[in-house]
Amino acid sequence: MKKKRILTGIITVIIAAGLLLSGCAGSKEATKTSAGKEPYKIGAVIDISGSSSSLGVPEKNTLQMLADKVNAAGGINGHPLVLTILDNKSDETEAVLAVKKLIDQEKVLAVLGCSASGTSMSMIDTVQKEKVPMISLAASSKIVEPVQERQWVFKTAQSDIVTINKLMSYLKEKGLTNVAFLYMNNAYGDGGRIAFTAAAQAGGVEIVAEEKFEATDKDMTPQLTRVKTSGAQAAVVWAIPPSASIITRNFKDLNMGIPLLHSHGVGNQNFIDLAQGAADGVILPIGKLIVADQIPDSDPQKKVLNTYIEEYSKKYNSPPNSFGGYAWDGFYLLVNALEKAGADRAAIRDVLEKTQGFSGVSGVFNMSASDHNGLNEDSMVMVQIENGKWKLLK
Amino acid sequence: MDLSSQLLQLLFSGLTLGSIYSLIALALVTTFNITGVLNLAQGEFVALGALLAASLYTAGLPLAAAFLVSVALIAALGALVERAAIYPARESSALTLIIITVGLSISLRGLALLLWGTDPVSLPAFSSGGPLLVGGASVNLQTLWILGMAAVTMAVLNIFFELTYTGKAVRACVINRTAALLVGINPGAMSLMAFAGSGAIGAAAGIFITPVTLATYDMGFMLGVKGFVAAAIGGMHNIRGAVLGGFILGILEVYSAGLVSSGLKDAVALVVLLAMLMLRPEGLLAASGRKV
């Protein structure tokens, strides 16, 4: 009898744990309009929990907000939009399972996601095989290259190479030719390392120290002491919070005395808050959203940026960030394609590939058969953090 | 930066990391010795304590009050967990009990995710001021707080086990549960106390490290694993061994990352663990021959 009771106890605990986890695993946004037309089903696989959640949460918020907005306005050509958002828990395996579920069970027309490069890469095989258009929200250029093996894959975040070219021109302008490169040991950091190494060789910048750290590391002092002995004139860090915040604090504690440059991966307020004052002075290339109030009115993105900021702030009581912006771009690229192509996956893909002059949050997109990102260096600006605020450089 | 100040800098960094691992190992070993349960949910106590204190602090409580309230609540949670999940299964095998703690760990992490979401949170450093400069190396002031806390906790536990009546009763339960029952000691009460105590130690450790490491809902798992490795290196039956194991692990990780290659960090720790388990499975300090 006792054994049985214990067994029941264990099972209860396991079921309770399962319920707790699944409770936050996914949410369905299925607002149907009264129009009788067949709904357009689209899916999103986002890193809502886990190590990339600082990217995924604003993306999920943005997608939900926009889906509501489109449906409130009568849907797409009268077709209601059904958006299913799944959480991949920042895990590659979960991402593959989620995208299979969206394609097999939900029969979605296209997929948005994931938030991070690693999780995005993991879905490519599936969407290529099933011939489903996918728009990734992550940075690594490997997601859309080589294009002949990525016919169905697009992405909205500026590719590493765009960011790095921007960064490289800044370094050369300031005469910083000996630099240290530190990166987090995952697909994002590695993508940055490969692109940075190539760009440095081409641009005459020497990498005098190259260090990596784990996303879960709590102290990067060892890596930074190696940078300190290397004689670098500047340090470039390729990481996202919280590890990006921790390394920034270590950098200040160690009194490094050289400029600290980050990637666009730290483009949210969370990074500044967690660095607790250590972020002041950090320089990074980033999309224009974060300094929307400082860019000239003549900029083609100004109107889009202001509308997005206004709507997001109103709904979620906090300003949006560039990650939410990647979701905004992905969503409207897809909505535009659905408007023109209707419920046909191949036609959606073709329209996406022909996107020209689309002013989004991350930049002006000009896609082509050889470029499935469509952004160039003009989509980025250099900013510096001053007193906990983003400031446009020159 | 010359080699000697680089070595010194790495030592300080290793001590910080080591003291974090030591505190977790300490709590793990204490529960293990009193109840015979390897509490794999120990890391979650650390995470919950840190998150709770950060919320209380944000809500306007002074740092010290947030610390005390959070430690008290997590101790209560530890006691609740023991009564709800461990006590009803107290007669089952050690394996069953460990599986129960795995379930607890997943549940508590899910709870933290629901309550706090996924964004990292932070607490201000306990004392203001920049890092101290010692021989060309810089030491974060919070490191000293963490080291101090590890020392105080270890001393208090030592006094408790060696000098108090209750502490001796606890040790009696470890040595022989039935004999302890016969002389009128209630092992159930001791187990309750052990879980409440390890909850408190875990929460306190979490709060002390948050200004350095930040707190996330899923920080507990990694810390639990590292704490377990530290305890295994030092010997599961010995608090001093657990502390020593924590420092060895922290310093090894940092020196291999700083002097050899940053990619080697976790590999070196695991190689040392494997070597320990093969060459000296009873742990470094087991030669003293007595438990706790």
Indicate the range of A33-47, A94-108, A360-374, B199-213 predicted with least confidence. Answer: A33-47
Residues A49 and A165 in one domain: no
- ipTM computed for the complex: 0.72
What's A191's domain CATH number? 3.40.50.2300
Residue B149 domain-assigned (yes or no): yes
**Helix, strand, coil in percent for chain B, rounding step 5:** 80, 5, 20
Residue ranges of A 3-32 with Cβ closer than 8 A to chain B: 3, 5-6, 9-10, 13-14, 16-17, 20-21, 23-24
**Residue B9 and residue A225: Cβ atoms within 8 Å?**
yes
* Mean pLDDT of chain A, nearest integer: 88
Question: How near does any CA of chain B get to the CA of A16, in Å?
Answer: 7
Nearest-by-Cβ selection for A213 from B113, B122, B262: B262
Q: Which residues pair with A390 in a beta bridge?
A: A385
Q: Which of B93, B262, B265 to mutate to test the interface with A (most CBs of A within 10 A)?
A: B262
Residue B191 domain-assigned (yes or no): yes
Nearest-by-Cβ selection for B96 from A6, A242, A276: A6
Residues A29 and A124 in one domain: yes
Res. A22: pLDDT tops 60: no
Residue B189 domain-assigned (yes or no): yes
Nearest-by-Cβ selection for A274 from B100, B122, B254: B122
Pairing of strands A178-184, A234-238: parallel
Residues A384 and A245 in one domain: yes
**C-alpha separations of B288 from A296, B241, B244, B292 in Å:** 74, 10, 14, 10
Residue A341 domain-assigned (yes or no): yes
Task: Give the structural domain span for A245.
Answer: 160-293+380-392
Residues of A in contact with B103 (CB under 8 A): 10, 13-14, 16-17
If you search the block for the tokens 């209560």, which residue do you land on?
B76
Residues of B in contact with A254 (CB under 8 A): 9, 131, 138
Residue B88 domain-assigned (yes or no): yes
Please answer whether residues B291 and B33 qualify as being in contact, where contact means their C-beta atoms are separated by less than 8 angstroms: yes
| CA neighbor of A155 nearest in space, from A119, A103, A185 | A119
Sign of CA dihedral B45, B47, B49, B52: negative
Residues A239 and A388 in one domain: yes
Pairing of strands A81-87, A40-46: parallel
Please answer whether residues A126 and A174 qualify as being in contact, where contact means their C-beta atoms are separated by less than 8 angstroms: no
Please answer whether residues A129 and A103 qualify as being in contact, where contact means their C-beta atoms are separated by less than 8 angstroms: no
Residue ranges of A 98-157 with Cβ closer than 8 A to chain B: none
If you search the block for the tokens 């001021």, which residue do you land on?
B129
Residue B291 domain-assigned (yes or no): no
Q: In whole angstroms, give the CA distance from residue B213 to residue B20.
A: 10
Residues A75 and A134 in one domain: yes
Q: Which is higher by pLDDT, B282 or B70?
A: B70
| CA neighbor of A45 nearest in space, from A101, A86, A84 | A86
Structure-token pair, residue A133 = 């258009």
Q: Which of A2, A11, A13, A90 to mutate to test the interface with B (most CBs of B within 10 A)?
A: A13
Domain count, chain B: 1
Residues A190 and A219 in one domain: yes
Give the pLDDT score at A214: 83
pLDDT tens for A23-67 read 444 444 444 444 578 999 999 999 998 878 888 999 999 999 999
pLDDT tens for B135-166 read 777 788 888 898 898 889 888 888 988 899 98
pLDDT tens for A163-221 read 899 999 999 999 999 999 999 988 788 888 998 999 999 988 999 999 988 887 888 88
- The pTM assigned to this predicted structure is 0.72
Give the pLDDT score at B1: 55
Cis, bond preceding A114 (omega within 30 deg of 0): yes
Task: Give the structural domain span for B144.
Answer: 6-117+139-286
Residue A2 domain-assigned (yes or no): no
As to burial, measured by CB atoms within 10 angstroms (0-12 exposed, 13-18 middle, 19+ buried), residue B281 is exposed
- Nearest chain B residue to A241 by CA: give it: B120
Please answer whether residues B111 and A23 qualify as being in contact, where contact means their C-beta atoms are separated by less than 8 angstroms: no
Residue B130 domain-assigned (yes or no): no
Q: Which of A113-117, B117-121, B134-138 has the highest average model confidence (pLDDT)?
A: A113-117
Residue B129 domain-assigned (yes or no): no
- Helical H segments across chain A, by residue range: 2-23, 53-72, 92-104, 117-130, 160-173, 187-203, 221-229, 243-253, 269-275, 302-316, 322-341, 345-353
Give the pLDDT score at A242: 84
**C-beta neighbour count of B260 within 10 angstroms:** 12
Residues A178 and A218 in one domain: yes
Residues of B in contact with A91 (CB under 8 A): none
Residues A172 and A119 in one domain: no
Pairing of strands B137-139, B132-134: antiparallel
Question: How near does any CA of chain A get to the CA of B38, in Å?
Answer: 16
Question: How near does any CA of chain B get to the CA of A183, in Å?
Answer: 10
Res. B171: pLDDT tops 90: no
Residues A94 and A105 in one domain: yes
**Residue B99 and residue A10: Cβ atoms within 8 Å?**
yes
As to burial, measured by CB atoms within 10 angstroms (0-12 exposed, 13-18 middle, 19+ buried), residue A356 is exposed
| CA neighbor of B204 nearest in space, from B62, B15, B37, B74 | B74
Residue A14 domain-assigned (yes or no): no
Residues A151 and A51 in one domain: yes
Residues A202 and A319 in one domain: no
pLDDT tens for B221-258 read 888 888 888 988 888 877 788 889 999 999 998 888 88
pLDDT tens for A262-289 read 998 888 888 898 888 899 999 999 889 9
Residue B212 domain-assigned (yes or no): yes
Indicate the range of B102-106, B129-133, B186-190 predicted with least confidence. Answer: B129-133
Residues A318 and A281 in one domain: no
Structure-token pair, residue A130 = 């099933």
If you search the block for the tokens 């021109």, which residue do you land on?
A169
